[in-house]
Chains A and B, each alone.
Chain A
Amino acid sequence: MSEKRNNQESLFSPGSSYWGDVWLQFKKHKGALLGAIIFFGIVISVMLGPLLWPFEPNAIDIRSRNQGPSLLHPFGTDQLGRDTFSRMIAGGRTSITVGLAAMFLALILGTLIGVIAGYFKKLDGILMRFTDLFLSLPLLPLLLLMMFLFREPLSVSYGPEKGMFILIVFAIGVTSWMPTARIVRGDVLALKQREFVMAARSIGTPDQKIILRHILPNILSPILVSATLGIANAIITESALSFLGLGFPPDFPTWGRLLNDAVDYLQLHPERVMWPGLAISLTVLSINFLGDGLRDALDPRIRGR
């Protein structure tokens, strides 16, 4: 009862802003808060890790190969004596960067298609058929196909790492915009009937301005939620591609690649699959909890309670 009153007070207290209320609601979801802390912790440690950790991810030290965890090498070393911890940091950097970049691309595509389909009635039918078509495509086979076909030409023109980065981000982006487009379309359809949009139109505001000023700010919350889920999806897809050997080049560590390398030593060193596997799972799990909490916090119907 007292908690409810506190919430009420905070809602109507003089200093409360929209984002302040969202934050208050978000804080109440313990899983989401923990997820946010873990996710940002992982992001900060993979970004700052190379500055602090003494070992290079690709430095070969054949004398100390196949070691178990020790103080010097907390995650052990691999078959060439490379420090697994530094490879994990380097891998996380790639995986998370790919996840963020692919999410942005998918978000832009999804929002664009969703807004156009929801706002312009003439294009709605065609665009939604198009979305349905994409939803019934066999995505992993198509992604593998794209990797296989465009890998070499892109590595030639942009260098092996940069070319692969562009290809993976593009491939994941163009195959994962559909859920965002569907959600955005639904919200735009509902918004279009609201009085403030009709008022804006009646005073002769051009469509472009209505979309930018009135529609987009109001669909920010579903976009944010699908952004978090998009990062998780992109990280899993990138790891799946690297796991199947069609991602980044072998000497370039990503979490999926490290997992793939570790599977070859499954019988001898079963602990090696744990590090990259746990890293992927923990990141995705924390993002999913973050998204769950964000969805509750951004939904005014839930926030008021």
Chain B
Amino acid sequence: MFDYTVRRLLIAVPTLIVISLVIFLVLSLAPNDPMAQVPLTVPPEVKEKMREALGLGQPLYVQFWKWLVQFFWIEPQVLIDHYFGTNYSEDKLRVISWQTRAPVMDTVVQRLPQTLWVVGMSYVVAIAISIPIGIYSAYKQYSIFDQAGTFITMVGYSIPPFFTGPLVIVIFAVYLDWFPSTYDTLHEVNSWDSFIIQLKQMFLPVMVLAIQGTAQISRYMRSAILDNLNQDYVRTARAKGLSESIVILVHVLRNSMIPVITVIALNLPLIFGGAIITEQVFKVNGIGQQLILAIYANDLPTIQTLTFIFAFLIVFMNLVADVLYALLDPRIRYE
């Protein structure tokens, strides 16, 4: 198990480096001049100096190397300093945003928890809803419940988050007035009442993402369970007198989770895309919104760092899925 995890980790590292190279190359291939926003009254010599300060005069591989060092070597030191009060990172150059003139990671650290909370909660909700739906509609295949479920998941799969977002705002915030339509970013949780308010303002963004997730996961859950229900081991389990609930919930479910976990991992880019849109619709101050703001402000270091963080989250979650896979299916560990 340990060997397997280490091997997966060793594959993830080069993947991440290639992805960061791709992002870097896309940014550097761009015909845009990052200095275009600088006023024309600034003399050319000064402009040249600014260019140098941004590291723009150097060859591409030097720029890329510098970014790698800043992101993978200096930023972790900052983190260590922050937690243990040491000063490894003093006087070292960090990735600086052109927009706020502050280190990019400082803003990211403030904003990342919101994104992770919304995405994580929506996954929890989606899995909690779609597992029972998937089990029941596979168990009673072609029943009315199954057919209605198939239709509803198809609808949920087809409605994009940028429509469900405004739709739930119209229904739950404008007409029913149950939940706030935007996320109050200054809200602090310090008592039971404020916790309820926090839950309420999380509800709509989580719901939008969870609709998307539920539709995908329950479809795969259903077909995975259908595949497993006719297997010999199910007949054996029934023949030795296990109760139906143990057969389904222990034996079949565990085996059906394997393809479902793959699907969850493969759909992550889609869910993070949905999170960017959801954050924009509900004005959640997550890293998706930060990315949009940075794009509008022409802030290349922030764009580069944030795109990489999205890639990192996706690769990391894929790694988690791979490990879960091995936990569920011992055969995979020894391949």
Contact = CB atoms under 8 A, between A and B. Distances in A.
A240 B27 contact: no
Nearest to B291: A141
B223 interface: no
A280 B160 contact: yes
B194 interface: no
A242 to B, nearest CB: 9
A246 interface: yes
- The bracket for how many chain B residues form the interface is 35 or more
Given A138-B307, A142-B307, A273 B166 contact: yes
B167 interface: yes
A236 B157 CA distance: 11
Contacts of B142: none
B154 A288 contact: yes
B289 to A, nearest CB: 11
B251 to A, nearest CB: 27
Nearest to B154: A288
Interface stretch (B69-77, B118-126, B130-138, B270-278): B270-278
B31 A150 contact: yes
B269 A145 contact: no
A232 B157 CA distance: 11
A288 B166 contact: no
A284 interface: yes
B22 interface: yes
Nearest to A276: B163
A244 to B, nearest CB: 6
Given A149-B26, A266-B170, A273-B170, A259 B162 contact: yes
B162 A243 contact: yes
A65 to B, nearest CB: 21
Interface in B127-160: 151, 154-155, 157-160
A136 B273 contact: no
A49 to B, nearest CB: 22
Interface in B1-27: 15, 18-19, 22-23, 26-27
B163 A281 contact: yes
Given A138-B314, A243-B277, A148 B170 contact: no
B307 A145 contact: yes
B204 to A, nearest CB: 13
Contact of A266 (B160, B166, B269, B311): B166
A237 to B, nearest CB: 9
A267 interface: yes
B163 A270 contact: no
B162 A256 contact: yes
A267 B173 CA distance: 9
B174 interface: yes
A135, A137, A236, A285 interface centre (most CB from chain B within 10 Å): A137
B206 interface: no
Contacts of B154: 285, 288-289, 292
A263 B281 contact: yes
A208 to B, nearest CB: 31
Nearest to B18: A133
A136 B15 contact: yes
Nearest to B32: A149
| Best-surrounded residue of A139, A144, A267, A288 (most CB of chain B within 10 A) | A144
Given A136-B315, A138-B307, A284 B160 contact: yes
B216 interface: no
Contact of A259 (B26, B163, B273, B291): B163
A256 B280 CA distance: 14
B269 A138 contact: yes
Summarize B's interface: helix, strand, loop or mixed. helix
B78 interface: no
Contacts of A25: none
A137 B308 CA distance: 9
Interface string A129-165: 0001101111111101110111011000000000000
Contacts of A138: 269, 272-273, 307, 310-311, 314
A283 B2 CA distance: 48
B292 interface: yes
B269 A137 contact: yes
A163 B211 CA distance: 35
A254 to B, nearest CB: 12
Contact of A277 (B32, B157, B167, B272): B167
A261 B15 CA distance: 39
A137 B291 CA distance: 16
B306 A141 contact: yes
B303 interface: yes
A239 interface: yes
B232 to A, nearest CB: 21
B199 interface: no
Contact of A284 (B26, B29, B158): B158
B19 A133 contact: yes
Interface string A233-250: 000100110011010000
Given A273-B163, A277-B166, 15 more contacts: A136-B269, A137-B269, A137-B311, A141-B310, A145-B23, A145-B26, A145-B303, A240-B160, A240-B162, A244-B276, A262-B166, A270-B170, A277-B159, A281-B163, A289-B154
14 contacts: A133-B15, A135-B266, A136-B318, A137-B269, A137-B311, A138-B311, A141-B276, A148-B295, A149-B29, A149-B30, A153-B32, A273-B166, A277-B167, A281-B160
Would you list the 4 A-B pairs with minimal beta carbon distance, nearest first? A140-B273, A138-B310, A277-B163, A149-B30
Interface of A: 31, 132-133, 135-142, 144-146, 148-150, 152-153, 232, 236, 239-240, 243-244, 246, 256, 259, 262-263, 266-267, 270, 273, 276-278, 280-281, 284-285, 288-289, 292
